[in-house]
Amino acid sequence: STTPTPDRAGLLSLAVEAAREGGRAAAEGQSGIGVLDTKSSPTDVVTEMDRAVEELIRKRLHAARPGDAVLGEEGGDEGGDTGVRWIVDPIDGTVNYLYGRGEWAVSIAAEVDGEVVAGAVAAPARGDLYTGVLGGGAYCNGEAIRAAPAVPLELALVGTGFGYESGRRARQARVLGSVLPRVRDIRRGGSAAVDLCELAHGRSDAYYERGLNPWDWGAAALIAQEAGARVGGLHGAPPTPDLVIAAVPELFAELHDLLAPLGADTDG
């Protein structure tokens, strides 16, 4: 391809521009929004704005860098030939968005040769823009952020989420039943990207979720890692849809060992 691969800072600034633009459009369209369609279950919803914002972001990215690949929640996988792939969640936290709540975000990550090197999470209703660059630190509104200092698991504030795909609720409840008695408390914010950024910001000590997709964690997992958190999946693997764990490093192994035997997040 003739499109040169820019440096990480260049990819980050495009991610930021597109996330801001998408965030602005989503914020303007929030009031009066309704359900357009459902996916795997009646509570797994999509609004007109999920699709519109993703389209806007794809246009913005392709205008700047034609030939890049894009993976987005609503529009699927679009191939490219530059070695750069964008991973886009146009609205992470659609249920909050639908209810007029503020905990939702636009998440955009830039992958080069399969590795996420830059990420932006814009949460306009909260006034927060989180950014991270591989090897370059994590920031909220331009200020460097760090994950919290170590605490024992029983004093840890643990974020989590319960995906809306059908057939997961009973298992989610059982896993929660094993975790809740072992920790200070649980937070279910409703946006995986914001949950991970909160961890990066020292506003929780750990986070786990099963059943996520790369667009949920792409940008925010880099931000959490750059803030000093450890991010991974099962048995030393990177995050996968099976499990994403992010925690202050001292807590990671204990939380992993608690979650791993509890099994896949499907009912039965």
Size of the site for Ca ion (CB under 5 A): 5
Bridge partner residues of 84 (DSSP):
112
Q: By the 8 A CB rule, do 167 and 266 touch?
A: yes
> What torsion, rounded to 10 degrees, do the Cα atoms 153, 187, 19, 12 define?
0
216 is a site residue for Ca ion (CB under 5 A) = yes
Q: Is 74 annotated as a binding residue?
A: no
Which among 35, 31, 86, 92 has a CA at the least distance from the CA of 61?
86
Q: Measure the CA–CA gap between 120 and 34, rounded to whole angstroms.
A: 26
**99 vs 144 by CB, closer to ligand IPD:** 99
Q: Which helix (H) or strand (E) holds 34?
A: none
Interface ranges with ligand IPD (CB under 6 A): 73, 89, 92-94, 161-163, 190-192, 209, 211-212, 216
265 is a site residue for Ca ion (CB under 5 A) = no
Q: Is 216 annotated as a binding residue?
A: yes
**139 vs 162 by CB, closer to ligand IPD:** 162
Site mask for Ca ion (CB under 5 A), range 82-121, x = bound: -------x-xx-----------------------------
Furthest-apart CA atoms within the chain: distance in Å:
56
Helix count and strand count (H, E) for the chain: 7, 15
Q: Measure the CA–CA gap between 161 and 240, rounded to whole angstroms.
A: 15
Three-class SS of residue 80?
coil
For residue 227, the minimal CB distance to ligand IPD (Å) is: 19
**6 vs 224 by CB, closer to ligand IPD:** 224
Q: Is 209 annotated as a binding residue?
A: no
For residue 132, the minimal CB distance to ligand IPD (Å) is: 18
Q: Is 81 annotated as a binding residue?
A: no
Which parts of this chain interact with Ca ion (CB under 5 A)?
A: 73, 89, 91-92, 216
Question: Which residues are part of a known binding site?
Answer: 73, 89, 91-92, 216
Question: Which residues are part of a known binding site for Mg(2+)?
Answer: 73, 89, 91-92, 216
